[in-house]
Homo-oligomer: A and B are copies of this chain.
Amino acid sequence: MPKVGIRDVAKLAGVSTGTVSRVLNDHPSVTGELRVRVRGIIEQLGYMPDPSARSMRGKVSRLIGIVIPDLTNPFFSELVQSAEQAAARHGYNIIVMTSFDQAAKETDRIGQLTSRKVDGIILVPSNDFHTLKPPKGLPIVIVDRLLPGYSGIAADHRSGVRLGVEHLVKLGHRRIGFISGPKDSVPANDRLKGYIDAMELISEGKQNAAPLIAEAAFDYESGRSAGNYLLARARHERPTAIFASSDQQAIGCMRAAHDLGIPIPAALSIVGFDGIPLASMTIPRLTTVKQPIQDIAAAAVAVLLSKQGAPELGKPLLLPCAISEGETTSSPQPD
C-alpha cells in the first residue's frame, strides 16, 4: 500500500495538484463545488499532507516547542498538558523539552527547536543566571517566570493573593498571618504585595491589622515551620487565619496546626495558593487560590499563532486567579 500523496488526490479528482493544495490551505480562490469534491476525495483516500514537506517548502511546521525547568512539577505538567490541548485545537503539535533549570541546557534546547523550524516557543526560563539569546524571527513567549524585555504571560499573583486575603476578611478575620515565599523570587514578592494591599485596606477601616509575616521556601516542610512560628503565641495574639504563598506551604501549615491541637477551620482558617491537585486531597480539603493554568497556556498558544496580539514588552499579560473554596475556611471564633 504505497502512501497516498497529493498527486493521487489530484488525479482522482481530475484536477491539478495546485488546486488540491489550495483546497488544503483554504485558499479563497477555489470554487465552492470543486472545493467540496476535492475534500471528498481527500477524505475517501485518507490523504494526509506530509508535514516534513510542508515545513520544508513553506514557513510553518505546525509545531510548537515548550521548554520548562521540570516536568515533574505539577504546575508545569499541567501547563504542558493545557498547551497541548490548546495547540491541538489549531492543528498544532507540541515538542516538550526540559531544561532542569540549567541555562546551558535551555540554550541548547532552544537551538534544537529553532532548527526544527517550530513556529514558536513557549518558555519558562530557568532560574539559573542567564542571558536569553532571542532566536531572531522566531516568536517566543515567556510564561510564569517573567523576564524583562520579552512578551510575558503569567497569573496575576498579586491580585490573586489579595482575593484570597479579602475572602478571609469577609469571613470576619482580622489577625491574618502570611507565609511568604523566598525573598529573591519575583512571584513570591508579587504575592507578598497582594497581602500587603489587602491588609492596608483593612487598616484604613481602623481595625487591628498588623501584618504577621513568616518568610519561607515554597515547600511543605518550610510551610510547617512557618506555621509553627506564626501559631506559637497566646491565643488572643495568634492569627485566626493564615494565607500561605503555596499549597505545599499551606499543607505543611495544616500539619503544624494539627500537631498543636488547633482545629481547622474551627480555630484557624487556612488558604493556599496554586490550586495543585493535591489541594483537594487533604482533609479537610484546602481552600486555595487557583492559578489559571489553562488560560495561561491557551493565551500563550494564541499569541504564538498570532491569534492574539503579543503583550507589549514592558507589560506582561496577567491572568486572573480564582478562589477554589475548600473546607479550611470559616468565620473566626469570638476571642
> Which residues does chain B contribute within 8 Å of A115, judged by CB atoms?
48-51
List of B residues within 8 angstroms of A281 by Cβ: 219-221, 248
Q: Is the CB of B85 within 8 A of A52?
A: no
Q: What's the interface size class on A, roughly? A: 35 or more
Nearest CB of chain B from residue A121's CB, rounded to whole Å: 13
Stretch at the interface among A95-103, A142-150, A166-174, A181-189: A95-103
Q: How many copies does the complex hold?
A: 2
- Interface residue? A284 (CB, 8 A): no
Beta-carbon contact of B98 and A96 below 8 Å? no
With both chains docked as a complex, state the minimum distance between the C-beta of A69 and any C-beta of chain B, in angstroms. Answer: 11
Which residues of A in the span 50-96 have a Cβ within 8 Å of any Cβ on B?
Answer: 50-53, 55-56, 61, 63, 70-72, 74, 77-78, 80-81, 84-85, 88, 93-96
Residues of chain A whose beta carbon lies under 8 Å from any beta carbon of chain B: 1, 48-53, 55-56, 61, 63, 70-72, 74, 77-78, 80-81, 84-85, 88, 93-98, 111-112, 115-117, 136, 219-221, 248, 255, 277-278, 281, 283
16 extra A-B contacts, CB within 8 A, seeds A71-B77, A94-B95: A48-B115, A49-B115, A50-B117, A51-B115, A52-B52, A52-B53, A52-B56, A63-B95, A70-B81, A72-B77, A72-B277, A74-B77, A80-B96, A84-B97, A84-B98, A93-B116
